[in-house]
Amino acid sequence: MVRNKHPQAIVLACEDNLGFSAANNRGSAIAGGDYLLFLNSDTVVGSDALLEPLNFMRDNPDVGALTVRLIYPNGERDPDNHRGFPTPWNAFCHFTGLSRLFRGNPRFNGYSLGYEDFTKTHEVSVIAGSYMMIPRELDRKLGGWDETYFFYGEDIDYCYRIHEAGFKIVYYPHVKVLHYKGASSGLRKESADIARPPKSTRVKVARESIRAMEVFYRKFYSDKYPRIVTGLVLAGIRARGWMRILKHQLT
């Protein structure tokens, strides 16, 4: 369809599902522009959501990555596109509900940064790979996406390395992109009525989402916290993962 309707587009068709990171790297390897836009297939993008962010990036060379306001079909904002790093404390507050109880307190809401003004452009720690604009040269400098991740977690890893390289990450809410969240994985309730992959796919993705969190923590945090904290975090990840996998095995 793409080749017939858009002959100017380059189509990279892989025989096997290589995962999000590997697919991104194959695309960016042949890209010729000064900026790259990593975009999920379950999004709907208008021209303003391309031009305005691009102009902002050109005017702010200290910005290493940018995202826009992703919204669900019901009009709600996608919270996963505006986050802090999943440190043990941030994750604890998020999964115990403290972040919802103290939504306006930065001390307890470091996971989703719910205290920010979502009508204004501001810096964040983590944005989602569902819409991420980045200078091509920075992507080259970082060595692209870490292909250890198959699905989930790779965008957090990528954002961590952007910060380590000394660049800012910006949330630009002045344009919107529609996001049918989870249409690829089948794990999200937001898209359950339009996408229902087979059980084997959902279970595999659930396993990969848990493995991704373990990979990220071991890569960046295992040497920053005492062993007992690392052990508790990894145990929590596995327990939550077991529940997620069981859910999709039974449905």
Q: What is the pLDDT of residues 14-65, one digit of tens each?
A: 888 888 999 999 999 999 899 999 999 889 998 889 999 999 999 999 999 9
| Whole-structure pTM value | 0.88
If you write DSSP's letter for every residue of the chain in order, what string do you get?
-HHHH-TTS-----SS---HHHHHHHHHHH--SSEEEEE-TTEE--THHHHHHHHHHHH-TTEEEEEEEEE-TTS-B-GGGSB----HHHHHHHHHTHHHHTTT-TTT-TTT-TTS-TTS-EE-SB--TTEEEEEHHHHHHHTS--TT-SSSSHHHHHHHHHHHTT-EEEEEEEEEEEE-TTTTTS--GGGTTT----HHHHHHHHHHHHHHHHHHHHHHTTTTS-HHHHHHHHHHHHHHHHHHHHHHH--
Residue pLDDT, tens place only, 179-226? 987 656 555 565 456 566 677 777 788 888 888 999 999 999 999 999
Q: Output the pLDDT for position 192.
A: 55
Question: Average pLDDT of 92-107?
Answer: 91
Give the pLDDT of residue 183. Answer: 57
The pLDDT confidence band at residue 109, using thresholds 50, 70 and 90, is very high
Q: Give 103's pLDDT tier (boundaries 50, 70, 90).
A: confident
